[in-house]
Amino acid sequence: MAEVLYFILLLSLNCGSFVSTRPADNTTAVRSTVGSDAALTTVSLFSAGNTNTPNTTGISTTGFTTSYSRSTAKPPTTTKPLAQSPGKIPETAVPRKKEEEGPVELARTIRSTKVAKKSKTILRKPTVITKKPHVVKKAKPQVKKSVSPPVATDTVPQCPPLGLESLKVKDTQLRASSYKRRGLGPHRGRLNIQSGTEDGDIYDGAWCAQYKDKKQWLEVDAQRLTRFTGVILQGRNSIWSWDMVYTYKVQFSNDSLVWKSSMNGTEEAIFEGNQDTETPVLALFNTSTVARYIRINPQTWYQNGTEGDICLRAEVLGCALPDPNNIYTWQTEPTESKDKLDFRHHNYKEMRTLMKSVNEECPDITRIYSIGKSYTGLKLYVMEISDNPGKHELGEPEFRYVAGMHGNEVLGRELLLNLMQYMCKEYKRGDQRIVRLVKETRIHLLPSMNPDGYEMAFKKGSELAGWALGRYSYEGIDMNHNFADLNSVMWTAIELETDRSKLINHYFPIPEQYTSEEAFVASETRAVINWMQNIPFVLSANLHGGELVVTYPYDMTRDWAPREHTPTADESFFRWLATAYASTNQVMSNPDRRPCHNKDFLRYNNIINGADWHNVPGSMNDFSYLHTNCFEVTVELSCDKFPHASELPIEWENNRESLLVYMEQVHRGIKGVVRDKDTEAGIADAIIKVDDIDHHIRSAGDGDYWRLLNPGEYRVTASAEGYLPSSRTCQVMYDHYPTICDFRLTKIPKQRLKEMLAKGGKLPKDLQLRLHQLRLRKLRVTTKTLNQRRAAAAAAAAARKAKKV
């Protein structure tokens, strides 16, 4: 009898969830239910006619893809039957039945080890019991597919991550039942967080509980009512330990006192966790739940005898509920950008389409060209932005941005696509800052240097690509270590050469073994090197992800030490360049931000010498500095390598000013043209030397040059083969315009004589006079030498004669 009463009670409660179908009433129902400490609101409060409710917060929900297909309700304005798969029974009799059970695809992703064996549908109406076997089958543990469709086709938008990985969730929002030490506290339980190299420091790679029992938990406070839909779990990142959670439960609460478990039918759902420490594993809840707090409660974990610990890294998926009364205004962060750009992740075809659309919108200032192909044949497209695209103009500096060297570090790719859209729109609008940049600079944007790696990461999707998937080229090459190691060539020459005047400090030739076809060099790397050699770039930045810092050369330590400050001759200007980006970046310049992973770069003002961070032989920055005229830094754009699409607008806001300010630095220092004094023709490959800076640059094919310098007074010398060197003093001001320092070189008389006689011309008077003076000087030297020899011979004869006497 008690069971019958219990069935009637639950059935009446279940029927109560089908009361309202109007969006306004839904919101009211959520608030009234959540107001109770003991009750939690499930997704059943959202009717089929209000499936877009989670998106009213303004958060974009695209860009997160999973391996699972969805078959959920379409968003009509009235209650209609839900989308059905072939062979399923229509649900018109009970329109809310599908949402009570949860989206269909969740049954595939729940990965539960505790599955209902019987058709105990005490919460279901008898008319729909026939559908239950479908749910039971799908609720069984299943191995997740490794590749997801590139574009989500969900009818109901997938909720985005709360932001544990991106640090949108603050440390104060994370709590735990216990933790072993500070370095393993709840603030370290963030997806993809990286540990330090020292075991036991404050930068470990997970949250680890102090005790080893099933009462341990990690809690996230969303700080407002949120519809939780899933959890992503990882094991501990460490080079010393191997810890992970195999299975776990999830609980929800409105007040952190009364908790309700995520259910699988009539039993608590137990979700499968990790089988290794690095692969992210996604589990979507059978029924999404509205609450403020969520807990992850490990049930089984890697024991490792008696040494195994309960350790995990996590991300939580959830949609913030609408806040019509502005109750949570104090904690609302901006999620949109004032610029109307295409904020989403673009695969290769979509990137190409977007670049083409920008070119069609601004054909007078843009040009698309390819510098080569990836290993799989994807073209490396570049967008050129200039008032005269396709041509190098005399005196106009060449600038480049390169992104996507590591395919899974995707923010730089999207920022460059946003940048080309933004510059096109602002140029047409008449923004004088953009107009000046376009007219005075030739800009080259390479959004994807490693398209093969990006496609691998893109197919997995944001949050599920992990820390390394897509980092390397298709051949498994890390392009950040794939350029010719010219640092070792330079330092070896310095150690062996006794005559320092014979040493070179720029334009180091590439070793022959590197240029051979057998060399292990990526096709993408070769394409970029050819690009560098064909265009006289002056300034560049290499956009990466996974940290928040700007690094500058050298990236390689001199004695292969793990880390050591290794400055270039232009250390002061490189620090200026790095500071120009970091100080204008809204996140880097925030003094209250927390470190991303295992190093606090705020102590260094968010800039650091690359080799002082870690040793990187064969980097593009060092190669660019030693083999060409181009100065280049690396910008680590965000803690999250693959941010969710909903975070792209605010990331653009964080970096827009930095991207523009850094481009403007190409106009600092001095520039000019080195010409032949007689013909006024430009002299190519003229060497520009600045006193007290042991690094020279060379003029381009037309004789124009650019030397990046900080404000100050410099003694500059220009020299070229067959010409007499010329020196002058140049003053660099604080203005955003370079100082003009032109040179006119006079040919060496012997060289001029050869050229004139070869042409059958007559010698000019000044050259005749100069030639006469040289002959007289040579005659005097010869006569003096002969006289000295004669005197010596006479003295020797006199000595012999005296000896005979």
HEC string of 173-235 equals HEEECCCCCHHHCHHHCECCCCCCCCCCCCCCECEECCCCCCCCCEEEEEEEEEEEEEEEEEC
Spatial separation of the C-alpha atoms in residues 799 and 805, rounded to whole Å: 10
Helix runs in 385-450, H state only:
411-429, 432-440
Name residues whose C-beta falls within 8 Å of residue 801's C-beta, 6 or more positions apart in sequence.
none
CB 73 within 8 A of CB 156: yes
Can you give the pLDDT at residue 497?
78
Work out the number of other CB atoms within 10 angstroms of the CB of residue 172: 9
Can you give the pLDDT at residue 100?
33
CB 372 within 8 A of CB 522: no
pLDDT, one tens digit per residue, over 651-710 is: 999 999 999 999 999 999 999 999 999 899 999 999 999 999 999 999 999 999 999 999
Can you give the pLDDT at residue 586?
93
What is the overall mean pLDDT for the chain?
A: 80
Asked if pLDDT for residue 605 goes beyond 80, the answer is yes
Asked if pLDDT for residue 95 goes beyond 90, the answer is no
Q: What is the CA radius of gyration of the chain?
A: 35
Q: Does residue 636 carry a catalytic annotation?
A: yes
Name residues whose C-beta falls within 8 Å of residue 639's C-beta, 6 or more positions apart in sequence.
165, 166, 167, 546, 547, 548, 596, 597
Work out the number of other CB atoms within 10 angstroms of the CB of residue 146: 11
Can you give the pLDDT at residue 104?
30
CB 240 within 8 A of CB 281: no
Name residues whose C-beta falls within 8 Å of residue 86's C-beta, 6 or more positions apart in sequence.
none
Burial class (CB in 10 A: 0-12, 13-18, 19+), 568: buried
Q: DSSP string spanning 600-617?
A: -GGGGTTEEEHHHH---T
Asked if pLDDT for residue 569 goes beyond 50, the answer is yes
Can you give the pLDDT at residue 334?
64
Starting at the earlier edge strand, list the strands of the sheet with 379-385. Answer: 366-373, 379-385, 442-446, 398-403, 537-544, 631-636, 549-552, 607-609
pLDDT, one tens digit per residue, over 240-254 is: 889 999 999 999 999
Work out the number of other CB atoms within 10 angstroms of the CB of residue 637: 30
Q: Is 403 helix (H, G, I), strand (E, B) or coil?
A: strand
Q: How far apart are the first and last CA of the chain?
A: 154
Instruction: Please tell me the total number of residues recorded for the chain in this structure.
Output: 805
Among 636, 657, 664, 713, the active-site one is 636
pLDDT, one tens digit per residue, over 700-758 is: 999 999 999 999 999 999 999 889 999 999 999 988 889 999 999 998 877 666 766 67
In one-letter notation, the amino acid at residue 311 is: C
Can you give the pLDDT at residue 400?
97
Per-residue CA distances from 189 to 62, 161, 254, 365, 775 (Å)? 25, 14, 22, 47, 84
Give pTM, 2 decimals. 0.76
Nearest CA-CA partner of 228 in 356, 301, 316? 316
Q: For the residues 475-489, what does the mean pLDDT come to?
A: 93
Tokens encoding 143:
């191995």
pLDDT, one tens digit per residue, over 164-211 is: 999 999 999 999 999 999 989 999 999 999 988 776 778 889 999 999
CA 264 to chain CA mean position, Å: 39
Nearest CA-CA partner of 310 in 198, 210, 233? 210
Asked if pLDDT for residue 121 goes beyond 60, the answer is no
